[in-house]
Structure 1
Amino acid sequence: MSAREPHDAGNGPRPDGPWFAFLESNTTGTGRAFCAAARARGMRPVLLTRDPGRYPYAAEDGLDVRVLDSADPDAVLDCCARLAADGAGLAGVASSSEYFVAAAARAAAALGLPAADGDAVARCRDKERQRTALAAAGVPVPAFTAASDAAGAVRAADAIGHPVVLKPVSGSGSVGVRLCRDRDETLAWAERLLDRGADERGHPVAARVLVEAAVAGPEFSVETFDDRVVAVVAKHTGAPPYFVETGHDIPAPLPRRDADALAATALAALAALGLGWGAAHTELRLTAAGPVVIEVNPRLAGGMIPVALRAALGTDLVDTVIARSAGLPAPQPTAGAGHAAVRFLSAGREGHVTGITGLTDAEASPGVVAVTAGTAKGRTVRITHSFQDRLACVVATGADAAQAARRAADAARLVRVELEDPAAPGEGVGGR
């Protein structure tokens, strides 16, 4: 799974402190690190999930697991209540998955544990409601309209003006997000999105899409905790018409005035949405007229951003989230390298994984602090034009942004994922 983890995986003695419940998890990036951080604080992490097979690290790290219908709020609350009634008690409930943060917050609040406002989180996850609240508060957002049929999406795009961006009203990781340059592309993509009965987690999805103006300008994210800006991050994405993230630079190499403007806009967005408890990840574009909010995510960033942020600035947001959710003091920042970069190895085609090489070489490269594989031998790679296309990730530090980026990219090129299909046996993704 990983050549080097950002936290000790926790295979030592099992703690005997209170339980800490994780409602599902993200399947890439820092999901494993959350459990390790709880264990390091003497708590007993327990994963509440419908499908333990999604998380190979659970068995590898000896995590306690409770199998339940994680989409059923009553089942989640009942499980958490039973953990709370256990002799050790329950210290907190959290989720590192976009799809479960609201449910985790509501379960924690129902049990009197520290939590964000679950209703505010749920409203934020609906992109149409989020856009409406931001626009009403005067926070700059793209022009937008929601549509429930393909013809309505085309009419909305005509009114806004092509090109437009189409996306599901709820989702994560760029799933279903596409730039549509004309009416034909808009119609075809709207039909495809509206034909989906469920998301990638198997949950039913609303038959609505968001049509919004395509905003020109480089993309950034602002990482916050409560009402404090922790970092402004530069984001790299793949070629249009999709928006798959290919890397991040921390801190973003920007003039101070631009970084301050992005930070101020992100804080205004949080206030407009009634957020501001715990971690949030706000994505923006910096246009000629100033920052425009693309979306606010009421959770800690994915994409290994927390790992890079800790390496660059010495702030451990994973442990900070655990501490807040358990009502414990936050960790003190440590010395950081100053700059860090994340670079991903993305799939160029589909196929069956027959092997992964180069992880050890990448790990040993200058400045590298984390190397992870997002797939494994025996799995099938599909092109989804989302975060699921990322096969491996490298985080590296440097004396400046350029050095960190170069080190991460060079190390990522050492990783090779061998794919095989009937048409091209033995072909690899990555390599020199």
Structure 2
Amino acid sequence: MAIRAIILVEGHRSIGLLYVNAAERLGLCPITLSADPTQYDYLAAEGIQAIRVDTSNLDALIRECSRLRETYDIAGITGFSGLDESVPATIGKLCRHFDLPGPNPASIERCHDKFVQHQILAEAGVPRPACHLAANATEVKSSAAEIGLPVVVKPAVGSGSSGVRLCRNADELTEHTYYLLGENQTSLSSPRILVEEFAQGPHYSIEIMGNDVFGISAADFGNKPHFVGLEYTYPAVLTDDEHRRITDVSLSCLRALDLGWGPTNIDLRWTRLGPVVIECNPRLAGGTSPQLAQAAYGVDLITEHIKLVIGGEWDLRKRHSQIAAARILIPDCDGILDWIHGDGEAAAVPGVAEVKLYVVPKTPIVRKGDFRDSVGYIIAASPDLAQTRSILERAVDLIDWSITPFE
């Protein structure tokens, strides 16, 4: 009998290993297809089969999966964005080709380009910040003038807050515009830059599974002008009216974008006008979101997602109810990491669910102003918000490191 396998297209820094482990617990053999498998350290460390293939090329993926089917019983295909943000839609097409469960690729493509997504949501009446598309510095400047500073300037395609910056004055606007234009020089396509009204207010992240809102977390970002998550609380503390309005606007996004298969993550801010949607992503959120859901509710969203991918049914019943919180560890300077310790002591604090470090001594630290700035995280949980925060602070105080700045 052929071994049942699950194909993971590309990997993921924070949740890739969780998918691998969950697949193995379900009796599946995880096989990763990646344009560059070496960028995912856990593949070699865990001895996971990884095959180098152009994951932006649908035909190349079909050929590789067809070859693997000669040896394995491929039960399902899923994956992550990797080096190419078009990969999720390609995965949907791959599932269609092999008649496997998966999302509608056309729906995924609607979310791929943030300006296209903005237009669809705006036409459906979903509250959104004002947003213009620009292709050069002149258009960025005129768009910002029309919207009014401060504005958020970011690539039309991307994830993890890469290239996203709050521009509060003309100098910051010019600096970041030319940074994005310079980044685009390696691409053959014309630059697509979004200039967006800065929606001010608390930030919330909504996890939707299928057609139901599973959980809502509150996010606290570090110092502007970048949007690097510093702390997350799950579930968010909301009034009944706030919860209802956030749920309603989130489900309206789902209908407008024709989503509803598998997980969807929605980011929004609560402004003086109520909930305003920043963006929708047809996937589980990365970072600490799945671990927070498990700590808060006892549900392993990654395992349940894989069950759906291989044609089963998920079980999203909440086993318990706690308040979970995560602190993201962010260095305050660039340089060479001399040492980092305290993770063992932090993990031993009662109420700490997980401590994870991404770095080891002698690692170069170069902050990018996005998800890559994190050197680790701590998650704590308890029945009470104040208690959870107290546990988290105690554990964070035990982590220490030294960085020698670059000459």
Bin the TM-score by the shorter chain.
Answer: over 0.9
Q: Which residue of 2 aligns with 1:285?
A: 269
1:70 has 2:49 as partner: no
Matched, 1:144 2:131: yes
Q: Aligned equivalents of 2:321 and 2:124: distance in 1?
A: 38
Matched, 1:187 2:187: no
Contact kept, 8 Å, 1:17 with 1:42, in 2: the verdict is no
SS in 2 for 1:195: helix
CA contact (8 A) 2:121 2:257 kept: yes
The aligned counterpart of 2:38 is: 53
* Matched position secondary structure for 1:18: strand
Cα deviation, 1:259-294, whole Å, max 9, x if unaligned, reads 121111111111111111100110000112110000
Residue aligning to 1:33: 18
Is 1:359 the counterpart of 2:346? The answer is no
Partner Cα separation in structure 2 for residue 248 and residue 376 of structure 1: 24
1:323 aligns with 2:323: no
Q: 1:245: Cα distance to partner?
A: 0.6
- The whole-number CA distance in structure 1 between the counterparts of 2:328 and 2:2 is 37
Q: Which residue of 2 aligns with 1:275?
A: 259
Q: Cα deviation per residue 1:331-371 (whole Å; 9 max; x = unaligned)?
A: 45452351101111102111122332111111111211111
Work out whether 1:404 is the aligned partner of 2:388. yes
**1:371 pairs with 351, 355, 377, which one?**
355
1:217-296 equivalence runs, <5 A: 217-296=201-280
Tell me, in whole angstroms, the C-alpha distance in 1 between the residues paired with 2:2 and 2:397.
Answer: 42
Could you tell me which residue of structure 1 aligns to residue 9 of structure 2? 23
Q: Does 1:196 align with 2:150?
A: no
- The alpha-carbon distance between structure 1 residues 223 and 133, as it changes in their structure 2 partners (threshold 3 A), is same
Post-superposition Cα deviations, 1:291-345, rounded to whole Å, max 9, x if no partner, equal 0000101110112111111110122110111111111222454523511011111
Distance verdict in 2 for CA 1:206–1:392, change over 3 Å: farther
Tell me, which stretches of 5 or more residues in structure 1 are unaligned? 1-14, 424-432
2:150 pairs with 163, 173, 176, which one? Answer: 163
Provide the residue aligned with 1:395 in structure 2. 379
Shift of residue 396, structure 1, vs aligned partner = 0.9
Change (3 A) 1:161 1:252: same
Structure 2's unaligned 5+ residue stretches are none
Q: 1:406-421 alignment to 2 at 5 Å? A: 406-421=390-405
Q: TM-score, structure 1 length as denominator? A: 0.89
CA contact (8 A) 2:304 2:316 kept: no
| C-alpha separation in 2, matches of 1:343 and 1:45 | 30
**1:205-251: CA deviation from partner (whole Å, max 9, x where unpaired):** 65110001111110001100111100011011011111111111010
The farther-off stretch of 371-380 and 61-70 is: 371-380
CA distance in 1, matches of 2:45, 2:270: 42
The answer to whether the 8 A contact 2:334-2:406 is kept is no
Contact kept, 8 Å, 2:334 with 2:366, in 1: the verdict is yes
Amino acid across the alignment from 1:132: Q
Q: Structure 1 residues 421, 238: closer, same or farther in 2, change over 3 A?
A: closer
Residues 56 and 203 from structure 1, CA distance in 2 versus in 1: closer, same or farther, beyond 3 angstroms? farther
Distance in 2 (CA, whole Å) between partners of 1:79 and 1:55 is 20
Match of 1:301 among 285, 300, 316: 285
Count of matched residue positions in the alignment of Structure 1 and Structure 2:
404
TM value normalised by structure 2: 0.95
Residue 194 of structure 1 aligns with an amino acid whose one-letter code is: L
- Offset of residue 54 of structure 1: 1.5
1:292–1:205 distance in 2 versus 1, CA, 3 Å: farther
Separation in structure 2 between the aligned mates of residue 278 and residue 165 of structure 1, nearest angstrom: 30
After superposition, the Cα gap between the structure-2 partners of 1:204 and 1:301, relative to the gap in structure 1 and judged at 3 Å, is farther
Task: Say if 1:168 and 1:176, in contact at 8 Å, map to a contact too.
Answer: yes
Note the C-alpha offset of 1:16: 7.1
SS of the residue 1:365 aligns to: coil
Distance 1:137 1:190, change over 3 A: same
68, 85, 90: which one aligns with 1:103: 90
Between the aligned residues of both structures, percent identity stands at: 33
Change (3 A) 1:196 1:152: same
CA RMSD of superposed structures (Å): 1.9
Contact 2:336 2:406 in 1 (8 A): no
